[in-house]
Amino acid sequence: MRKKIVMTILAISFSAVATYSAAHFEKKTVAESSIVAKAEEITPSKVKTYELIDEDDSQKNADTVNIESQLASNEDDEFLKKLDEERARFQAQKAQFEKIKSSKKTATIDTKTNKADDLPYANDVETFELKTDTSTNATSHDKIIFVGDSRFVGIKAAIGKTKDEFIAKIGMGLKWFKSKEDKIKDAETKKSTIVIGFGVNDLGNINDYINYVNKADFSSKIFFLTVNPVDETKYTEISNDSIDNFNETLKENAKNYTVIDTNTFLKINGFDSTDGLHYDSETYIKLYNYIVEKIESLK
């Protein structure tokens, strides 16, 4: 009798479990069907997928951006334009780094030291610091705080280890510069100097740059570089005439800063550019040495 009761209870339990499982499975199936139905509403023609990847290793950290057609067409076009610009910057910077890596001047490559946010799409490309046999003045001067755009990112990569500090990022301009004011102040020391290298990405902000820097309350002496030239045979988005106009206005209104004319220096001594906008490692090192020498002579 006891056996029969136990068997009856087990049978009821198995029946309940089976009933629950079937119901749960049915609900899950219905839910999944609903998801499929919704997914089918967005057809492939309504979704565009763009990937920014390192073409040498398509498996590495692809950044995928899905854009639904519900966006207004003008916003879509603007996004695609920006995407193309950023991809071009990434490819140019990557080509520059590859050229530096293969340069005969390169002694060793340290793949662990550069900060990720200093490089374009840094998770997609190998980051590295270069140590070249080209001598620099890295140990003969007080600390310099370099604040600027992609050209300062290039200098940092070219010169390797240094006691100087670089607060720089590709594609940046006045707005980003202002946002880094506290970081710049934190980096200052009693003997430090600040070197500003902006403008090539926003030449139209020249008056705002002048007003901001003339009123800045940094404790360090401020040097503002002229915007350096482009190779107009390779890069046509801005002209050297517009750069010259920026530089003339910069010089004429200097009050709280000293101008270092790196533009004229490069025009006289020559420069090599990878894409018309950014320079090769030799030019970056030459530029860095000139900046250090001018700061020492103007103190």
CATH for 177: 3.40.50.1110
Residue 278, domain member (yes or no): yes
Percent of the chain with pLDDT over 90: 52
- Predicted confidence at residue 299, as pLDDT, reads 75
Structural domain includes residue 128: yes
Residue 12 CA, distance from chain mean position: 65
Mean pLDDT computed over 92-115: 49
Question: What does the alpha-carbon distance between residue 153 and residue 116 come to, in Å, rounded to a whole number?
Answer: 12
**What is the Cα–Cα distance from 295 to 142, expressed in whole angstroms?**
10
Q: Using the predicted structure, report yes or no on whether residue 169 has a pLDDT greater than 60.
A: yes
Indicate if the pLDDT at residue 129 is higher than 80.
no
Whether residue 234 is contained in a domain is answered as yes
CA 237, 242, 244, 250 dihedral sign is: negative
Is the pLDDT assigned to residue 51 strictly greater than 90? no
Domain carrying residue 199:
106-298
| Nearest residue to 143 (alpha-carbon basis) of 72, 234, 205, 220 | 220
Q: Residue 68: pLDDT above 70?
A: no
Q: Is residue 90 part of a domain?
A: no
Separation of alpha carbons 247 and 124, rounded Å? 36
Number of Cβ within a 10 Å radius of residue 168: 22
Give the count of domains, the chain.
Answer: 1
Q: Catalogue the E-assigned strands of the chain.
A: 47-52, 63-68, 106-110, 129-132, 144-148, 165-168, 193-197, 221-225, 258-260
Domain assignment present for 137: yes
pLDDT band at residue 82, thresholds of 50, 70 and 90? low
In this structure, what token pair is assigned to residue 210? 């002048």
Complete edge-to-edge strand list for the sheet that includes strand 258-260? 165-168, 144-148, 193-197, 221-225, 258-260
CB 168 within 8 A of CB 144: no
Lowest-confidence pick of 46-50, 158-162, 252-256: 46-50
pLDDT for residue 42 is more than 90: no
Give me the residues paired with residue 148 across strands. Answer: 168, 197
CA distance 169 to 277: 15
Predicted TM-score (pTM) of this structure: 0.57
240-to-145, 232, 247 alpha-carbon distances in Å: 27, 8, 10
Q: How far apart are the first and last CA of the chain?
A: 106
pLDDT of amino acid 91: 72
Residue 8 has pLDDT above 80, yes or no: no
Domain membership flag for residue 27:
no
Residue 92 has what pLDDT? Answer: 72
pLDDT of residue 264: 98
CB 138 within 8 A of CB 187: no
Report yes or no on 142 lying in a domain.
Answer: yes
**pLDDT confidence band for 286 (50 / 70 / 90):** very high
Measured CA to CA, the distance from residue 172 to residue 104 in angstroms comes to: 31
Three-class DSSP category at 238: coil
Indicate whether 228 belongs to any domain.
Answer: yes
Question: In sequence order, which ranges of 55-123 are alpha helices (DSSP H)?
Answer: 73-102
